[in-house]
Amino acid sequence: MLEIKNLHVKLEEEDKAILKGVDLTIGSGEVHAIMGPNGSGKSTLSYVLSGRDGYEVTEGSAVLDGHDLLDMEPEERAAAGLFLAFQYPVEIPGVGNMTFLRTALNAQRKARGQEELSAGDFLKVVRAKAKALKIDADMLKRPVNVGFSGGEKKRNEILQMAILEPRMCILDETDSGLDVDAMRLVSDGVNALRDANRSFLVITHYQRLLDHIKPDVVHIMADGRILESGGPDLALVVEKNGYADLLKKHGIAE
């Protein structure tokens, strides 16, 4: 489903390599986690996959369901089924959540050759999804993310994910800001949306999120590369011993 091969990325503005040959294959229905010390390039990987400006791919490829992601505009990537839950969700004053979501969904439907949803039909979809996820639909009347608490932003992300029905969801979770309640929200949401036709890449600094979202594969990233991959046990080892031994083993200075 998602196949990343030998991905090298540098900053556009300066000659600084950030990703130095990332290989990652995620099959349909699988949940993969990436852990790693701060500054490893985890967020950069998610930004590059979603098409954010400022990064230059110097080598390698990233293919989703046969589509060359790196060759597409961010909207085309979304239409191809990629979803990135933002680490710092943007506030969009004046734009209601409903309008934002309907625009996003209809852009995606259009790109897929599907008919756009009327406001009424969209409302039905939203109500059903919000109810299933136990999210207060009143939140949707407010402008996107403006004045949202941390928990509300998380709820909103999960709702966006449910409505857009992506094939591949990338969640980049900061270590800070994810308190126990927010962690519950994220993990319950991901677990509710797990499906044989949907995959997840969960980026996290701490193992505890993975107590609730049971990943199929855990990858450890450092210095722009994936050092090791394994089962959920790998996350427990890292939680217990830290990254120092792993870094040393791979000849990376802390």
Q: Does 225 bind ligand ADP (CB under 6 A)?
A: no
Q: Does 242 bind ligand ADP (CB under 6 A)?
A: no
Q: Which residues are 223's β-sheet partners? A: none
Interface with ligand ADP (CB under 6 A), residue from 1, 9, 33, 40: 40
In the complex with ligand ADP, the residue whose CB is nearer, 34 or 144, is 34
Amino acid at 233: D
Residue nearest to Mg ion (CB): 43
Q: Choose the one of ligand ADP, Mg ion, none that binds residue 225, judging by a C-beta under 5 to 8 angstroms depending on kind.
A: none
Q: Does 38 bind ligand ADP (CB under 6 A)?
A: yes
Distance CA 165, CA 148 (A): 23
Instruction: Please spell the DSSP secondary structure of 131-157, one letter per residue.
Output: HHTT--GGGGGSEETTT--HHHHHHHH
Q: Choose the one of ligand ADP, Mg ion, none that binds residue 36, judging by a C-beta under 5 to 8 angstroms depending on kind.
A: ligand ADP
Burial, 167: exposed, middle or buried (Cβ in 10 Å; 0-12, 13-18, 19+)?
A: middle
Is-contact 137 127, C-beta < 8 A? yes
Distance CA 160, CA 183 (A): 17
Interface with ligand ADP (CB under 6 A), residue from 1, 2, 9, 18: 18
Structure tokens at 116: 């756009």
Structure tokens at 90: 């943007």
In the complex with ligand ADP, the residue whose CB is nearer, 54 or 231, is 54
Interface with ligand ADP (CB under 6 A), residue from 22, 24, 35, 41: 41
N residues, the chain: 254
Q: Choose the one of Mg ion, ligand ADP, none that binds residue 61, judging by a C-beta under 5 to 8 angstroms depending on kind.
A: none
In the complex with Mg ion, the residue whose CB is nearer, 44 or 97, is 44
Distance CA 114, CA 68 (A): 22
Q: Does 54 bind ligand ADP (CB under 6 A)?
A: yes
Q: Choose the one of ligand ADP, Mg ion, none that binds residue 105, judging by a C-beta under 5 to 8 angstroms depending on kind.
A: none
In the complex with ligand ADP, the residue whose CB is nearer, 18 or 135, is 18
Contacts of 209 (CB under 8 A, 6+ apart): 173, 178, 183, 186, 187, 202
**Site residues, Mg ion (CB under 5 A):** 38, 42-43
Nearest-approach distance from CB 42 to Mg ion, in angstroms: 5
Interacting stretch for ligand ADP, rule CB under 6 A, among 34-42, 69-77, 134-142, 180-188? Answer: 34-42
Q: Does 111 bind ligand ADP (CB under 6 A)?
A: no
CB atoms within 10 A of CB 103: 12
Distance CA 13, CA 4 (A): 24
Pairing relationship of beta strands 217-222 and 31-35 according to DSSP bridges: parallel
Q: Choose the one of Mg ion, ligand ADP, none that binds residue 81, judging by a C-beta under 5 to 8 angstroms depending on kind.
A: none
Q: Interface residues with ligand ADP (CB under 6 A)?
A: 11, 18, 36, 38-44, 54
